[in-house]
Amino acid sequence: MSSIKEYYFEKQQENCIAWIREQYGIEIDPDEHPDAWEDLAGEYSAMLEAEEAEYQWLNRHTHSEFFLLFANELATASSLLNVGTPPSTPIPSASLSTPISSHSWRS
């Protein structure tokens, strides 16, 4: 195998070990625990595939799509809030201008 491939595989293994340490708080040696290593490396691989799929999905969808979708959903939510509700009663301005200190807080 070429030295570049070996370096790449070593780096991938180091990244996997670091991820396992971060996720599970354990140190694992692939040579000492091959079954556990296979399971955990499979989880790491699945995580990388999920990240790649998310990256691809985000590349296919523009930010303006998200904004337009959000704006439409916000308009729908706003219209649902306004359906069948009477207009709100305004708060009398006198109660807003009364200073807090003039209220009696003690009974």
- pLDDT higher than 80, residue 104: no
Q: How far is it, in rounded angstroms, from Cα 104 to Cα 36?
A: 69
> Hey, what are 80's tokens?
């649902």
Gyration radius (Cα) of the chain, Å = 29
Would you say residue 45 lies in a domain? yes
More confident residue, 61 or 100: 61
Mean pLDDT of the chain: 83
User: Is the residue at 34 inside a domain?
Assistant: yes
Domain-located, residue 75: no
Query: What residue numbers bound the domain in which 8 lies?
Result: 3-66
**Residue whose structure tokens are 């708060």:** 91
Domain count, the chain: 1
Q: What is the pTM of this model?
A: 0.56
Q: Which of 26, 7, 8, 9 is nearest to 18 (CA)?
A: 26
